[in-house]
């Protein structure tokens, strides 16, 4: 956990900009928040079979993959792993 992140605050302008960006991306993908939440839950269920994850630090969002590689939307997930479960 990043201590500096706990005490830093985004400006309301940055928060509004990020929210608007996410709304536009969701509109382009025609994906509701409920669908995105269901996808997130399904991903977490599968990952939980194989590893212990930190659920308090999970960040799953739709983003413009222009930031990554192309021009379409992309699902980006940041899921901190506490430890891997090894089969015995």
In-domain check, residue 14: no
For the chain, the domain total comes to: 1
In-domain check, residue 69: yes
Q: How many CB atoms lie within 10 A of CB 22?
A: 15
pLDDT digits (tens, 9 = 90+) for 5-36: 545 566 788 878 877 877 776 666 667 778 88
Answer whether 70's CB lies under 8 Å from 77's CB: no
CA dist 32 and 65 (Å) reads 19
In-domain check, residue 77: yes
Element (H, E) at 76: strand 73-78
What mean pLDDT, rounded, does the chain reach? 76
Higher pLDDT among residues 8 and 50, named by residue: 50
DSSP 8-state symbol, 2: -
The pTM assigned to this predicted structure is 0.55
In-domain check, residue 75: yes
User: Percentage of the chain surpassing pLDDT 90?
Assistant: 9
pLDDT at position 4 over 50: yes
In-domain check, residue 38: yes
Answer whether 62's CB lies under 8 Å from 30's CB: no
Give the domain range for residue 48: 32-88
According to the model, what pLDDT value does residue 59 have? 84
In-domain check, residue 56: yes
């Amino acid at each position: 956990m990043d201590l500096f992140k706990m005490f830093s605050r985004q400006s309301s302008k940055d928060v509004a900009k990020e929210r608007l960006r996410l709304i536009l991306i969701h509109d382009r993908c025609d994906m509701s928040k409920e669908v995105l939440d269901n996808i997130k839950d399904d991903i977490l269920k599968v990952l939980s079979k194989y590893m212990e994850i930190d659920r308090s630090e999970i960040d799953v969002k739709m983003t413009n993959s222009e930031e990554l590689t192309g021009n379409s939307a992309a699902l980006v997930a940041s899921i901190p792993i506490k430890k891997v479960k090894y089969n015995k």
